[in-house]
């Protein structure tokens, strides 16, 4: 595109929307013209020269690009309205991730061709992003023993819970604590992970147990995956498969040795992945760790990465490496 694309962010006062606005302010091809917030409507947005609008006042038919960051159950409806108005749309809620209305599931490193030139993309959830990017190369290389479940322990900073006030998210409740939630495969991201694995593995889709935890930090996700593997497969084979799959990918760091931490990724639109051996088991297993920023590669950064692909911009435009 030769001119800047007129852009709207629906739900711009939440953590994800705020991060997206920050990225858009320095993007050379996207011009932020509208930003919505029901609670902040009429108030100025710092550093933008704009005022927050109610979502009903955004002229969707004038927008070239719309990012829908509204609550689950509401966002998809507005995303489809924006699409009907002619905009290219990235929905950051869970509403369209099962492919409703022909939405493309937007992990670029796995489904780039489907995203390029597309009109409607469902941005993945944060937890599924790390799980699927870690497991896809191992599954496709035939390293995983599909007869046993993958165990996934995932931990997220508190911004993953959103900006709406909740008592159990207060500083006094979170500080100096570490707790599991959504246990027993009941977390809302479990169906999305299952659907993603089915896309990758087909009829050999894996069973898994997913347990999320709340970290007493502001941002960042660290996922530990205990992966059953075929006989004679070791961690070096997993690293090799990951390196081959993601060679040249600017937003995937595969560690030759060691495991990543949050310090490696917070502030970057990058997933860092490392693997390690697991000793003293009768049946072989390897350990994989994926670390990434929940507000960037887990949400706003990946949304902008998808928008760049949809509009024909350089995929890295406006994104911190």
Residues involved in catalysis: 126
**Torsion sign across C-alpha atoms 16, 127, 193, 108:** positive
Q: How far apart are CA 25 and CA 46, in angstroms?
A: 11
Query: What's the alpha-carbon Rg for the chain, to the nearest Å?
Result: 20
Is residue 38 within 8 A of residue 10, CB to CB? The reply is: no
Residue 294: name the closest of 154, 156, 133 by CA: 156
DSSP 141-168: TT-B-TTSPEEEEEEE-GGGG-SS--GG
Residue 210: name the closest of 181, 168, 174, 178 by CA: 181
Sheet hosting strand 104-105, strand order edge to edge: 30-35, 5-10, 65-68, 88-91, 120-122, 104-105
Which residues, in sequence order, are CB contacts of 44 under 8 Å at separation 6+?
50, 51, 52
Q: Considering all CA atoms of the chain, what is the largest pairwise distance in Å, rounded to the nearest integer?
A: 63
Sheet hosting strand 285-292, strand order edge to edge: 179-180, 208-214, 150-156, 221-228, 285-292, 271-277, 252-254
Q: Region of 58 please: left (phi>0), alpha (psi -120 to 50) or beta.
A: beta
Q: How far apart are CA 235 and CA 240, in angstroms?
A: 9
Q: Please give the span between the terminal C-alpha atoms of the chain, in angstroms, as a whole number.
A: 24
């Amino acid at each position: 595109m030769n001119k800047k694309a007129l852009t709207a962010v629906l739900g711009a006062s939440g953590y994800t929307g705020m991060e997206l606005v920050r990225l858009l302010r320095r993007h050379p091809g996207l011009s932020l013209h509208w930003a919505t917030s029901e609670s902040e409507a009429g108030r100025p947005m710092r550093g933008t020269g704009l005022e927050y609008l109610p979502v009903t006042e955004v002229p969707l038919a004038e927008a070239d690009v719309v990012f829908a960051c509204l609550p689950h159950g509401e966002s998809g409806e507005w995303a489809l309205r924006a699409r009907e108005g002619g905009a290219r749309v990235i929905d950051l809620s869970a509403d369209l991730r099962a492919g409703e209305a022909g939405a493309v599931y937007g992990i670029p490193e796995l489904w780039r061709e489907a995203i390029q030139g597309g009109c409607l993309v469902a941005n993945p959830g944060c937890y599924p992003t790390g799980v699927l990017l870690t497991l896809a190369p191992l599954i496709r290389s035939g390293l995983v023993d599909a007869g046993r479940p993958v165990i996934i322990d995932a931990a997220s900073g508190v911004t993953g819970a959103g900006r709406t006030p909740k008592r159990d998210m207060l500083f006094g409740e979170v500080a100096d604590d570490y707790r599991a939630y959504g246990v027993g495969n009941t977390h809302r991201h479990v169906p999305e992970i299952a659907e993603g694995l089915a896309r990758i593995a087909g009829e050999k889709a894996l069973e898994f147990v997913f347990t999320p935890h709340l970290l007493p930090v502001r941002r960042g996700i660290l996922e530990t995956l205990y992966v059953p593997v075929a006989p004679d497969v070791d961690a070096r084979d997993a690293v090799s498969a990951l390196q081959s799959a993601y060679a040249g990918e600017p937003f995937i760091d595969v560690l030759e040795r060691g495991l990543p931490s949050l310090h490696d990724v917070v502030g970057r639109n990058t997933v860092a992945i490392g693997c390690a051996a697991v000793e003293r088991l009768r049946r072989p297993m390897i350990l994989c760790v994926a670390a990434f920023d929940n507000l960037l590669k887990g949400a706003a950064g990946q949304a902008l990465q998808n928008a760049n692909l949809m509009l024909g911009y350089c995929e890295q435009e406006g994104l911190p490496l």
